[in-house]
Amino acid sequence: MSTHASDPLAALSSLPGVADAVDSVRKAVDRVYGHRVMRRRSNEISSEAALRGARGSAALSGADWALEEVRRRTDFGSDSEARTVGAALRLGAEAGQLLSIWRQSPLRVLARLHLVAAGDPGASVGRPRLDGETVDEPLVTAPLPTPAEVGGRLDGLAELIVAGGEAPALVTAAVVHGELLALRPFTSYNGLVARAAERIALVGSGLDPKAICPAEVGHAEQGRAAYLAAFEGYLSGTPEGVGGWIAHCGRSVELGVRESTAVCEALQRGAA
């Protein structure tokens, strides 16, 4: 990550491919917000985006259920996949309630997200992991930072979020996502929490105020292999790697926009 003294997140905008990704995402988001259905039925689009985003995030965490299965199921505690889907759905519902807290206390929001995902107040839930605690995150196998490093980097990330700055929403959201995947600060559900935090960053920035552009859909559509390859680029810390990760997140937002545009079109056909 760049260490530009005044605004390190804004400095990332100059990395290879990032400016184009930011511009492309802004144009895509503007187009879906301009859809005629959004003027009358934006709440329906938001609800559907949350459902589809949860399905996509769960798929990346190993529970790749069909959308209609996610929609119809009511029991999410019977096995590991069901618990993953349930956690993703709870996070999707909770994210919108945390926007007002995010810019003042992002670490509090992350703790809340983990508690919501875990669904029970266990001893390790809702706080960063301690020395000797294991992490259940099968998707990401990169070496785990120590709890001491996790604490320092989380504090640094929180300081950047609270300070604000001139960084585009996509850049901030991609860094939040990438850092949380790299740190895996909790004993479980780190991938789900990282993607929920990315969504909060996109919505809270004003880029997607109605939460209708589910990046999780795009991450899942591009596939686990592409997701992990882009994340490896982020971990590398090289300008090309970090820029590639941000561009990958941008493409995911655009695919989320495409999904919600299709929902708008379906609702429009139904109303015709």
Return the pLDDT at 271: 59
Question: What per-residue confidence (pLDDT) applies to 272?
Answer: 40
Q: Which of 227, 219, 175 has the alpha carbon at shortest distance from 198?
A: 175
Reported for 151-157, long-range contacts at CB under 8 A and 24+ positions apart, including other chains, are 153/179, 153/183, 154/107, 154/110, 154/128, 154/183, 154/185, 155/107, 157/106
Q: What are 80-123's pLDDT values in tens digits?
A: 999 999 999 999 999 989 999 999 999 999 999 999 999 987 88
- pLDDT at residue 138 in the model: 83
Mention every residue, 6+ apart, whose C-beta is less than 8 A from residue 109.
Answer: 98, 101, 102, 197, 200
The pLDDT, as a whole number, for residue 74 is 84
Beta-bridged to residue 188, according to DSSP, are 136
**Residue 4 has what pLDDT?**
45
Positions in the chain short of pLDDT 50: 1-5, 272
- Confidence (pTM): 0.94
- What b/e string do you get for 132-169 counting C-beta neighbours within 10 Å, with b at 16 or more? eeebebeebeeebeebeebeebbeebbebbeeeeebbb
